[in-house]
């Protein structure tokens, strides 16, 4: 695949948004950290440099050797990247006299240049920087300005090297997608042919070549990711795929049997195993959220190891890992971004488990997974299912985990989710769930004092889980759900609704 874009990550919070915007143009891209540039660059046709929390004036800021890239590829440098290129070509970057952050409007545009084709003066852009390009290199032509930022965009003469001080990838840059399209299609001459169908075809061929006649064991969760991974693998290797659904004791109410029933008729070889006792035993007394995640991941691996030994010639463990999982767990493929939390299906296998890992979806965002699933003919109701974390209710119970707490949260969650469906709100929410808090509060029921649990309801809207906003659910709905929970779930006397967005809060509480 040579019709693809290399995005070099300098640690910007927006790097993943660049990738999303590129893929929305039906062009494939990959993110690599600035300090791990691929040795084989012939597979790429264009390069984008991201922003960064660093200042180019800092002696410890990222300054990789980009000479080969700058001499051989069309390059679009964004924010920090624009300042880095300016400095390397002899320009001057200095601290800005004013805080250049937020909305701005283009007051000058060189509309003769392809990058700003069909972009008009007054177009809104988004600034996010404290340094500014005071003087452009002698070899640069000015392409755009705002009232406060003279050098908002420029081009290196006689080269396909473009730089933007603003962020074209964010929503607030109204013509950002068009600018990216101009660069990728009109300047870099990339084809817009990366579609769900093409992804399926390429992935199936790759899986056939990689796996051969070996058998694969896949852990199903009943969710979108593992289901799409299963159908994709089955298309590639047929009956050599062995699916296992593990009951970890942390599933939603009735979910173990419901999931097994859901796969009936899909021609998948699925086996359900009950490992709840092992999970509860391993989690006993553990309160730290990161340790809970790692413990759940370890027991999952032990369960799959036990099952793999029962299948001759099973040399592969398949996982439904997707891009946000990878980004949050290992900092954008090892780049300088901060690790948020570990995911149970990211990070490799222990030495004792003699299986290689195959992750056919690990470079896809959530919405892309759904589009691939539709291309594979998977039931839209299944594809529309809310995301559910791999560690299950284990990371929605703050503090230690017991069967009693799980039973309480299962009932609360069931009332909430079924209520969303009854009120025709389920499909308007990207993800919803309930959290059991490690606090008791005073209440009164039937003229008697109670001292029982508090639960928090969470509902967010998002496209891929990288960012999310809380959903403004109707007050009457929340009132009804609160009453049902308090009246029907013994042990709960208080319900609150979480109105935090991501960032700063994550979707899950742990």
Share of the chain above pLDDT 90, in %: 62
Query: How much is the average pLDDT of 378-401?
Result: 90
Query: How much is the average pLDDT of 93-99?
Result: 80
How confident is the prediction for the chain on average, in pLDDT? 89
Instruction: State yes or no: is 40 an active-site residue.
Output: no
Q: Are 248 and 300 in contact (CB under 8 A)?
A: yes
Q: What is the pLDDT of residues 46-89, one digit of tens each?
A: 999 999 988 889 988 989 999 999 999 999 999 999 999 999 99
Share of the chain above pLDDT 70, in %: 92
Q: What is the pLDDT of residues 145-195, one digit of tens each?
A: 999 899 999 999 999 999 999 999 988 899 999 999 999 999 999 999 999
Instruction: State yes or no: is 290 an active-site residue.
Output: no
* Residue 391 neighbours by CB under 8 Å, 6+ apart: 250, 292, 293, 296, 297, 344
Q: What is the pLDDT of residues 109-149, one digit of tens each?
A: 998 999 999 999 999 999 887 789 999 999 999 999 999 89
Provide the pLDDT confidence category of residue 402 given band limits of 50, 70 and 90: very high
For residue 148, which of 179, 93, 92, 108 has the smallest C-alpha distance? 108
The residue from 79, 255, 307, 343 that is catalytic is 79
Query: How much is the average pLDDT of 355-366?
Result: 86
The residue from 29, 100, 129, 167 that is catalytic is 167
Instruction: State yes or no: is 24 an active-site residue.
Output: no
Q: Are 95 and 130 in contact (CB under 8 A)?
A: yes
Q: What is the pLDDT of residues 25-38, one digit of tens each?
A: 999 998 888 998 98
The residue from 29, 129, 169, 328 that is catalytic is 169
Q: What is the pTM of this model?
A: 0.73
- CA–CA gap between residue 242 and residue 47 (Å, rounded): 40
Residue 283 pLDDT: 95
Residue 281 pLDDT: 96
Q: What is the 3-state secondary structure (H, E, C) of 312-323?
A: CCEEEEECCCCH
- What are the structure tokens assigned to 60, written together? 């410890």
């Amino acid at each position: 695949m040579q019709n693809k874009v290399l995005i070099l990550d300098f640690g910007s919070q927006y790097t993943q948004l660049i990738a999303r915007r590129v893929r929305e143009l039906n062009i494939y891209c990959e993110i690599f950290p600035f300090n791990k540039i691929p040795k084989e660059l012939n597979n790429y046709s264009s390069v984008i440099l991201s922003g960064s929390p660093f200042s180019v004036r800092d002696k410890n800021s990222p300054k990789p050797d980009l000479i080969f890239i700058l001499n051989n590829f069309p390059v679009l440098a964004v924010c920090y990247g624009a300042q880095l290129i300016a400095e390397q070509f002899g320009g001057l970057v200095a601290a800005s006299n004013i805080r250049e952050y937020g909305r701005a409007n283009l007051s000058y545009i060189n509309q003769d240049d392809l990058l700003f084709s069909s972009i008009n003066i007054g177009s809104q852009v988004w600034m996010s920087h404290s340094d500014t390009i005071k003087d452009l290199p002698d070899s640069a032509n000015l392409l755009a300005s705002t009232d406060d930022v003279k050098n908002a965009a420029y081009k290196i003469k006689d080269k396909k090297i473009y730089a933007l001080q603003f962020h074209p990838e964010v929503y607030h840059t109204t013509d950002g997608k068009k600018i990216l399209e101009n660069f990728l299609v009109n300047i870099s001459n990339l084809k817009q042919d990366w579609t769900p169908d093409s992804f399926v075809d390429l992935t199936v061929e790759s899986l056939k070549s990689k796996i051969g006649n070996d058998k694969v064991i896949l852990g199903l969760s009943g969710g979108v990711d593992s289901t799409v991974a299963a159908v994709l693998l089955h298309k590639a290797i047929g009956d050599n795929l062995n699916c296992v659904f593990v009951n970890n004791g942390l599933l939603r109410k009735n979910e173990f049997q419901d999931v097994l029933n859901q796969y009936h008729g899909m021609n998948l070889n699925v086996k359900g195993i009950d490992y709840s006792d092992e999970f509860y035993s391993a989690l006993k007394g553990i309160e730290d959220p990161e340790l809970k995640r790692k413990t759940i991941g370890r027991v999952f691996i032990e369960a799959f190891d036990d099952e793999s030994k029962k299948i001759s010639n099973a040399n592969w463990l398949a996982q439904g890992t997707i891009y946000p999982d990878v980004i949050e767990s290992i900092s954008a493929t090892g780049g300088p971004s901060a690790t948020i939390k570990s995911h149970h299906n990211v990070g490799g296998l222990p030495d004792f488990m003699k299986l290689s890992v195959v992750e056919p979806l690990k470079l896809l965002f959530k919405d892309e997974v759904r589009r691939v699933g539709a291309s594979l003919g998977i039931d839209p109701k299944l594809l529309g299912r809310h995301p559910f974390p791999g560690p299950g209710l284990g990371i929605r119970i703050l503090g230690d985990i017991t069967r009693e707490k799980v039973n309480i949260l299962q009932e609360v969650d069931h009332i909430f989710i079924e209520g969303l469906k009854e009120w025709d709100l389920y499909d308007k929410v990207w993800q919803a769930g309930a959290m059991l808090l490690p606090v008791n509060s005073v209440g009164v029921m039937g003229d008697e004092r109670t001292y029982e649990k508090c639960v928090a309801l969470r509902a967010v809207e998002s496209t891929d889980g990288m960012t999310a906003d809380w959903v403004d659910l109707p007050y009457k709905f929340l009132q009804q759900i609160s009453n049902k929970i308090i009246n029907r779930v013994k042990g709960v006397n208080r319900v609150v609704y979480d109105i935090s967005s991501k960032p700063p809060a994550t979707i899950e509480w742990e």
